[in-house]
Structure 1
């Protein structure tokens, strides 16, 4: 791996007070696609995910479950590990904030912040949301009709808290953060989130309470163990714990600063305000980029526990297929925007994009090759303008897709790939290789070679999104494993290479027929009254 450029991508570590849902699956999927793409593109990749296991909310949930906090977190953390297999993610490690190495990293960072003069002892009095593990000023809350005060931004109940606390001098970092944002315009994505963070910081920052004394499930403050570190200082530190902090001679330290923290839009303030301030105060470089994606709704409704409409990714994969779900989640909605999950839309993408367009292209081209070319890659003859136009469009895809993924524009990358697939389907219809079989077999073979080569290039680029399905297609093209990286993108198919029998990869999805409604049993007719006598 020596000599390769590094690429370090992280999910947020997921809070273990609930089971994984579509939001967790979505964030990790985006990171997985980037990690797979960068590996294929020759990078030394480190992809991290994990679980956030401390805080008052966990302590409360564990007590409600009748379990010690560690046993509770062991159980729930496993459900996030299980999702890795279900969704075919490829992380290099799974970190837990209950690991001893993480305690050591957090306490080392705390001592660094104390030595820098950025932490002092005081008393906190203000509004706090246990659900969000977040402090709110009065103006960020409101009293509802039920006379309960809630955070305006999240709807979570807040409670008045007064307790001794250590504070981080966040108020001193406003100008330095703005300067950092201006010097690093790509630090926050998309632009709407950048504007949100800039507005927040320019509005003035208050010092941040970074310890609690009202509960005990967390990392003790060095030298004052009755204080527990604020869960967000604890959680954010995981990204450098993984790299060996405080031991900067650790082999994994080469990955810091991270290339990308992928997060949901609800936690952008922690990652784009608190985290760079903590790091710069400790004389450490901030990550290169934080991207905040949007939220999913379910058939037009906000997803919430009260509505009971959470979307289970395991159920989706079982019903619709793994790669189909992976494709849909990153194709359907511009990444960064909110999106509505619809089963009708998912089935539409499966059938239109995958079965009818991509799958049908592969199936009919490889079937004609098998029937007419002796189950070998056909010979390539002279090319005409239509051939070179399609080949050039496919050849140009790598540069375009690479640029789109560097901006986390997954939907744009898949759109441009889909356009080339559509071009190839139009080319098939226009060239009609089935008709050429009798009139011009040399031309037929060239058309089929052009199509097979186009499928190869497209499929190489779709690998990060649908790894299992694309492996099957590349197998059918006899592309060797070492030729499936982007360094081999221009290594064209060799005529005469033996090919296995073609098999369909993307079947159409047909909704199961609804159970017929039983008709009510016919009632026997009442007997006719007898006719009157005489």
Structure 2
């Protein structure tokens, strides 16, 4: 039986259209899901939209819409973008789904039954934009002397009757969790930040609101809706059928990985495990908090006018190029900066000139000069063996090993070095010259290269799925030989190779007008 792997993104807040940061996280999760499928695992991948809270209610009011109308419209934009990005999720969850209301109320009742919820009055600072409460000691001063959250967002003084969760009772349990499971929070820098926060002491958390009604109703407490994060975090259980004992809950929970942005680490590594401990539910195995995607070194914001629509990048460069660039250009756990120049340069140098050119010149040579098929009967020489070993090591060992650790850039660097080795081999062996001097050796060289191209296309398929599929189709590789197990079990270079209708998959790109080019 295949080993199950349950992966989630944070659910995205749809008070505006999706931006490049939403695309970045969801692409990374999709690449990881595809990777584990090719490793033979039974993968479940969930994403979606987080639709409740004061921020949504205020935005809808400003637009003259109901919160539900705004949620329906904006959630649709996220679905459309993910379709364009070739995201293959198993469920797109919405926190307005009926089964999610039921799950949220069930976990509330479980925490209440454990004695961890009590009714009192909240007085303190709240950031609508962050949907987060802050202690006075956490606030910073703005340029005009105003109080701001640690994220630099406005805060307002809030007073209302509220249900509280006894978060203070979980400090020692959370610190024990971090000590006993050092991989629960990754990367390590985020783990250290969270541990320092918890070591500083935890206050009980306000978990209901009465000042608005756009949320999941608190069971048995009229006028109260759940704090948006209680409801949002529960989505990871909703998608598996909680609170019922479903086959999906038995198979996939606890989640293997919650993939989130670094700005919501606290919610996933402090609040969420405490809620689950209270409700008697197993904890997820890991939370990975990635960095921000910066536009030429700046965080995108509407006020700066530098917000990027991912759909425009897809239109300009193509889906596979965008997916490749975002995971290749910088280390996944850290902040990374992108620009149009960087995308074009990376795509042209690595995808068009190196991998795409390698595949096209080898396969088109076979199509034109060998009637589209070769069977290599000449002996394998040491240089052939060395290349096959180099490529197999990169594709079957190095790239998968790095992807397991979410070190996408390092895995793609190993893959790229194998591409360069193949191109150097083509230049050294010069099959176009061998065609006249030693046609049998030419076939062996071409067969060796086709075996390498198959390996390279399979290995990178999670990142550039459409391009890889086209290359593997042109090489007529059977569908059952397109996973990582096939890289060791099957070697196309030792049999008959047939090439069908090879076409370039990565055209050279130009900078869009106004971005440094015409």
What band does the TM-score fall into relative to the shorter chain?
A: over 0.9
- Structure 1 residue aligned with 2:204: 207
Is 1:268 the counterpart of 2:265? The answer is yes
1:42-441 equivalent positions in 2, closer than 5 A: 42-151=40-149, 153-396=150-393, 397-441=395-439
Structure 1 stretch displaced more, 135-144 or 325-334: 135-144
Alpha-carbon distance between aligned partners in 2 of 1:206 and 1:135, rounded to the nearest angstrom: 11
Alpha-carbon distance between aligned partners in 1 of 2:510 and 2:302, rounded to the nearest angstrom: 30
Contact 1:261–1:291 at 8 Å: present in 2 too? yes
Provide closer, same or farther for how the CA distance between residues 271 and 380 of structure 1 changes in structure 2, counting only shifts above 3 A: farther
Contact 1:276–1:286 at 8 Å: present in 2 too? yes
Q: CA offset at residue 147 of structure 1?
A: 3.8
Contact 2:352–2:508 at 8 Å: present in 1 too? yes
Structure 1 stretch displaced more, 137-146 or 56-65: 137-146
Q: Which runs of 4+ in 1 moved over 6 A?
A: none
Corresponding residue SS for 1:8: strand
Is 1:498 the counterpart of 2:495? The answer is no
- Structure 1 residue aligned with 2:509: 509
Q: CA offset at residue 80 of structure 1?
A: 0.5
Provide closer, same or farther for how the CA distance between residues 514 and 51 of structure 1 changes in structure 2, counting only shifts above 3 A: closer
Q: Which runs of 5+ in 1 are unaligned?
A: 516-534
Corresponding residue SS for 1:340: strand
Q: CA offset at residue 512 of structure 1?
A: 5.8
Corresponding residue SS for 2:366: helix
Alpha-carbon distance between aligned partners in 2 of 1:482 and 1:388, rounded to the nearest angstrom: 24
Alpha-carbon distance between aligned partners in 2 of 1:323 and 1:249, rounded to the nearest angstrom: 36
Pick from 20, 33, 40 the counterpart of residue 22 of structure 1: 20
Contact 1:358–1:421 at 8 Å: present in 2 too? yes
Contact 1:369–1:378 at 8 Å: present in 2 too? no
Contact 1:177–1:273 at 8 Å: present in 2 too? yes
- Provide the TM-score with structure 1 as the length reference: 0.93
Corresponding residue SS for 2:223: strand
Alpha-carbon distance between aligned partners in 2 of 1:170 and 1:135, rounded to the nearest angstrom: 13
- Structure 2 residue aligned with 1:453: 451
Deviations 1:312-342 (CA, angstroms, capped at 9, x unpaired): 1100010111111111011001101111111
Q: CA offset at residue 15 of structure 1?
A: 0.7
Corresponding residue SS for 2:357: helix
Q: CA offset at residue 184 of structure 1?
A: 1.3
Deviations 1:383-422 (CA, angstroms, capped at 9, x unpaired): 2221111111222222222221121111111111001001
Aligned residues: 512
Contact 1:245–1:253 at 8 Å: present in 2 too? no
Deviations 1:163-215 (CA, angstroms, capped at 9, x unpaired): 11111111111111111112211111111111111111111111111111111
Contact 2:323–2:464 at 8 Å: present in 1 too? yes
Alpha-carbon distance between aligned partners in 1 of 2:454 and 2:246, rounded to the nearest angstrom: 42
Contact 1:335–1:409 at 8 Å: present in 2 too? yes
Contact 1:376–1:495 at 8 Å: present in 2 too? no
Alpha-carbon distance between aligned partners in 2 of 1:176 and 1:77, rounded to the nearest angstrom: 37
Alpha-carbon distance between aligned partners in 1 of 2:247 and 2:211, rounded to the nearest angstrom: 36
Corresponding residue SS for 1:292: strand
Q: CA offset at residue 83 of structure 1?
A: 0.8
Corresponding residue SS for 1:14: coil
Deviations 1:221-243 (CA, angstroms, capped at 9, x unpaired): 11102111110011000000111
Corresponding residue SS for 2:122: strand
Corresponding residue SS for 2:172: helix
- Provide the TM-score with structure 2 as the length reference: 0.96
- Structure 1 residue aligned with 2:29: 31
Alpha-carbon distance between aligned partners in 1 of 2:146 and 2:309, rounded to the nearest angstrom: 31
Contact 1:378–1:448 at 8 Å: present in 2 too? no
Q: CA offset at residue 300 of structure 1?
A: 2.6
Contact 2:340–2:511 at 8 Å: present in 1 too? no
Alpha-carbon distance between aligned partners in 2 of 1:245 and 1:514, rounded to the nearest angstrom: 51
Contact 1:264–1:295 at 8 Å: present in 2 too? yes
Question: Which has the greater radius of gyration?
Answer: 1
Corresponding residue SS for 1:224: coil
Corresponding residue SS for 1:225: coil
Deviations 1:270-315 (CA, angstroms, capped at 9, x unpaired): 0011101111111111111111111122123221110111111100
- Structure 2 residue aligned with 1:532: none
Contact 1:244–1:253 at 8 Å: present in 2 too? no
Q: CA offset at residue 373 of structure 1?
A: 2.5
Contact 2:24–2:293 at 8 Å: present in 1 too? no
Q: CA offset at residue 88 of structure 1?
A: 0.8
Corresponding residue SS for 1:218: coil
